[in-house]
């Protein structure tokens, strides 16, 4: 890929000359959509990003929020989509490595990972191959570095044929007094590079991530995919945190997109920087300045260190058997200068490089409409329910998360497969983590679907008793030069922001991944604004399990159901239309009251109602014991069982706690109703004249379809 002609004209006018080969490569990568957010920046600036607990918001390697006077939480989210199609194992593994380094660059210790994975139909052998190797890459890398993968989402849709999505969230813990940011603080400081030696892998990865995948991508783009080494990453984690703890690291940045050029230029943009490439440790001979600058070799960090303390930092790197070198310095002149063998090979006004990329203003299009038809007319209610329960989007994902070590670091209180994960942060308090998206909702209605994504993740936290406090996003869309795609992005950002304002929680960071289209399959992905959300629990001892426990417990339904099928699993299976769930402002009260009630310790089981509707929620709760539910006198059976209206949950309480729990919801006008009783060996649901009855064995067999499929 070469520098665009329009960009070269802007650069040449600013420099007073044409950029040379090295400068062109630097601009090509730093002015890519992946680094400069040229299409999305105006939209991102409309998001609510502030609150009393936000210490560092969007713009740094990771966001930092306050947990207490002595404890901070770092959170970051990134995509590694194109690399994971070209080389699924290494692409996914290095996606994990990169997001972990984003967290440690803030001086925080990584304690958890979440992954949001989206693939084409598993009936396609290529998609099965991608799925298997992406999961293996995430598991192997996370397991080796000792960071548990505790939560995530896997969703299948034909639009991801030829362009799977691999989004990863990392969470870290730190202290306010060891917080490090990515901008240099003082001219005269030295720039120190530590970690792996630099090679030719990952050349031009940022520009590669900013274009569509072609039919020849697997062969021609393989050099753009980085190769990871988790054992070096583990050493780098420990070395970086030890270096930060000395107080001698003024700034720190991961070498991710655009490699050394991106990390050092963005780091030095507050003043200026001079880089000497002769000092960079190399693992291949004959590397050119262009290659050294844009290589995205993994497991590397740059640190700003005062001259008098450089030797202490180099000694720490040596202790961990890492390469290290002083490769430059911060200068008090707004230039970015690169030298090689005594010659200046790049000399660029630093603000032009880091902030000067012209923004794109794509055309907008009207929202698309969808035809409604139905393939479900001649099926029984039981047949419909089993089709939903056995869908790979609803079925349990044990095959995935059992490949991950979610016990390492011994913080995991609630493990994968139970909605939100929960980690302890001290003897009493904890954090809850949820991630995912409703892509099929968003495809039908970008504004309402994106808002619903926020609500669903917030409800995942609330049923654990956690108050949602912040979230990050990864905006995965097709080619923004297409008017329809850009309009999808614009409406989805508005929907995320609207929901964040309703819930009064900030969007503290994220990533934009555009050009997710495949020439091979002639497809563009459906819009997929996935998010990672964190909540705070005051008492982890009150967390209810996600499955029914005791015979005789009362089953309660919280929230109100509407005929909202658009984009639901039921609608996708049977090809029907309809409205997607609406973003009602009353959900804020529902969440607040739900957190309060769970905190009393009176809830014996709890699960939100999301993908697959009520039938999926009840089916998953019937792991050990069944339930008898009666919904007569309300809506029709399809609406009651398959609608995916937001802001609903299933709770169970003992008979003696029913009145006191109901009273709390009723006092705040939150709809609640006792709809049944736990017990028996089947799930029985009555809706007026219709009855659905499924044995526990039938439910288990249906929900286990994905696991069985991947094991055969």
What is the spatial distance between Cα 62 and Cα 51, in angstroms, rounded to a whole number? 16
- The CB density around residue 246, as the number of other CB atoms within 10 Å, is 13
- The CB density around residue 440, as the number of other CB atoms within 10 Å, is 23
Q: Mapped to the 3 state alphabet, what secondary structure does 440-489 carry?
A: HHHHHCHHHHHHHHHHHHHHHHHCCCCEEEEEEEEEECCCCCCHHHHHHH
Give Cα 132 to chain centroid, integer Å: 19
- Taken in order of first residue, the domains within the chain and their CATH numbers are 364-395+544-712 (3.90.650.10)
Q: Are 175 and 66 in contact (CB under 8 A)?
A: no
How would you class 120 by CB atoms within 10 Å of its CB: exposed for 0-12, middle for 13-18, buried for 19 or more?
A: buried
* Catalytic residue (choose from 34, 157, 406, 448): 34
Compute φ and ψ for 593, nearest 5 degrees: -70, -40
CA angle 620, 622, 628 (to 5 degrees): 125
Confirm whether 80 is a catalytic residue.
Answer: yes
Provide the pLDDT for residue 630: 95
Q: For residue range 212-224, what is the model confidence (pLDDT) as tens digits?
A: 555 554 544 456 5
Total residues belonging to the chain:
712
Tokens 């919904």, located at residue: 631
- Give the 3-state secondary structure of residue 522: coil
Q: Are 31 and 294 in contact (CB under 8 A)?
A: no
Instruction: Give kind and range of the element (H or E) at residue 495.
Output: helix 483-503
What is the spatial distance between Cα 588 and Cα 595, in angstroms, rounded to a whole number? 11
Q: Does residue 237 come out as left (phi exceeding 0), alpha (psi in the -120 to 50 range) or beta?
A: alpha
User: Rounded to two decimals, what is the model's pTM?
Assistant: 0.95
Q: Are 532 and 78 in contact (CB under 8 A)?
A: no
Provide the pLDDT for residue 521: 80
Confirm whether 70 is a catalytic residue.
Answer: no
Q: Does residue 511 come out as left (phi exceeding 0), alpha (psi in the -120 to 50 range) or beta?
A: beta
* Catalytic residue (choose from 70, 80, 624, 668): 80
What is the spatial distance between Cα 657 and Cα 663, in angstroms, rounded to a whole number? 10
What is the spatial distance between Cα 583 and Cα 496, in angstroms, rounded to a whole number? 10
- The CB density around residue 14, as the number of other CB atoms within 10 Å, is 15
Q: Are 178 and 107 in contact (CB under 8 A)?
A: yes
- Residues of the chain short of pLDDT 50, as ranges, are 207-210, 217, 219-221, 369-373
What is the spatial distance between Cα 444 and Cα 527, in angstroms, rounded to a whole number? 10
What is the spatial distance between Cα 612 and Cα 554, in angstroms, rounded to a whole number? 22
Provide the pLDDT for residue 220: 47
- Taking Cα atoms as reference points, which of 712, 531, 710 lies closest to residue 135? 710
Residues whose CB is less than 8 angstroms from the CB of residue 426 and which lie 6 or more positions away in sequence, other chains included: none
Q: Are 24 and 353 in contact (CB under 8 A)?
A: no
Give Cα 138 to chain centroid, integer Å: 13
């Amino acid at each position: 890929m070469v520098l665009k002609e329009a960009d070269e004209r802007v650069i040449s006018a600013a420099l007073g000359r044409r950029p040379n080969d090295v400068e062109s490569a630097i601009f090509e990568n730093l002015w890519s959509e992946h680094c400069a957010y040229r299409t999305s920046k105006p939209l991102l600036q409309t998001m609510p990003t502030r609150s009393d607990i936000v210490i560092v918001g969007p713009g740094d390697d990771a966001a930092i929020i306050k947990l207490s006077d002595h404890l901070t939480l770092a959170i970051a989210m990134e995509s590694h989509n194109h690399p994971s199609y070209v080389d699924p194992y290494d692409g996914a593994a290095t996606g994990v490595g990169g997001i972990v380094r984003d967290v440690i660059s803030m001086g925080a210790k990584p304690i958890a990972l979440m992954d949001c994975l989206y693939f084409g139909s598993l009936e396609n052998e290529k998609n099965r191959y991608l799925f298997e190797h992406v999961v293996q890459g995430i598991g192997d890398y996370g397991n080796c570095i000792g960071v548990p993968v505790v939560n995530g989402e896997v969703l299948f849709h034909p639009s991801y044929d030829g362009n799977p999505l691999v989004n990863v969230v990392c969470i870290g813990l730190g202290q306010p007094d060891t917080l490090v940011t990515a901008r240099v603080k003082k001219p005269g400081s030295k720039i120190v590079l530590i970690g792996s030696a630099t090679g030719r892998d990952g050349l031009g990865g940022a520009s590669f991530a900013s274009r569509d995948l072609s039919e020849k991508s697997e062969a021609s783009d393989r050099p753009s995919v980085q190769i990871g080494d988790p054992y070096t990453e583990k050493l780098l984690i420990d070395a970086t945190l030890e270096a930060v703890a000395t107080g001698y690291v003024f700034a720190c940045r991961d070498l991710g997109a655009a490699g050394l050029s991106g990390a050092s230029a963005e780091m030095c943009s507050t003043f200026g920087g001079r880089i000497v490439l002769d000092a960079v440790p190399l693992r291949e001979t004959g590397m050119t300045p262009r290659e050294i600058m844009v290589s995205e070799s993994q497991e590397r960090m740059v640190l700003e260190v005062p001259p008098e303390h450089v030797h202490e930092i180099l000694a720490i790197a040596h202790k961990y058997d890492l390469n290290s070198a002083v490769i430059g310095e911060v200068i008090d002149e707004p230039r970015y200068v690169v030298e090689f063998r005594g010659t200046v090979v790049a000399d660029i006004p630093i603000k032009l490089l880091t902030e000067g990329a012209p923004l794109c203003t794509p055309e907008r299009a009207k929202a698309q409409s969808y035809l409604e038809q139905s393939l479900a007319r001649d099926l029984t209610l039981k047949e419909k329910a089993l089709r939903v329960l056995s869908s790979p989007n609803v079925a349990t994902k044990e095959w995935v998360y059992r490949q991950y070590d979610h016990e390492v670091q011994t913080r995991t209180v609630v493990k994968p497969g139970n909605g939100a994960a929960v980690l302890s942060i001290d003897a009493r308090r904890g954090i809850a983590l949820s991630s995912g998206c409703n892509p099929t909702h968003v495809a039908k209605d970008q504004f309402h679907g994106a808002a619903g994504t926020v609500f669903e993740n917030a409800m995942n936290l609330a049923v654990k008793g956690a108050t949602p406090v912040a979230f990050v996003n990864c905006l995965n869309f097709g080619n923004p030069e297409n008017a329809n795609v850009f309009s999808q992005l614009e409406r989805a950002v508005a929907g995320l922001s609207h929901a964040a304002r309703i819930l009064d929680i900030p969007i503290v960071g994220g990533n934009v991944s555009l050009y997710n289209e495949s020439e091979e399959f002639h497809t563009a992905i459906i819009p997929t604004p996935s998010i990672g959300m964190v909540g705070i629990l005051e008492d982890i001892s009150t967390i209810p399990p996600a499955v029914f426990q005791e015979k005789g417990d009362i089953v309660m339904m919280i929230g109100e159901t509407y005929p909202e099928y658009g984009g639901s699993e039921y609608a996708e299976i049977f090809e029907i239309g309809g409205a997607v769930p609406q973003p009602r402002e009353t959900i804020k009260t529902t969440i607040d009251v739900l957190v309060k009630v769970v905190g009393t310790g009176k809830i014996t089981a709890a699960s939100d109602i999301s993908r697959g509707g009520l039938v999926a929620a009840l089916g998953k709760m019937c792991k050990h014991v069944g339930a008898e539910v009666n919904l007569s006198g309300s809506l029709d059976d399809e609406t009651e069982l398959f609608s995916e209206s937001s802001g609903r949950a299933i709770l169970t309480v003992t008979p003696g706690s029913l009145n006191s729990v109901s009273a709390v919801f009723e006092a705040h006008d939150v709809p609640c109703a006792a709809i049944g009783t736990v017990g028996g060996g089947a799930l029985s649901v009555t809706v007026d004249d219709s009855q659905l009855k499924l044995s526990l064995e039938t439910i288990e067999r249906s929900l286990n379809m994905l696991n069985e499929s991947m094991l055969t």
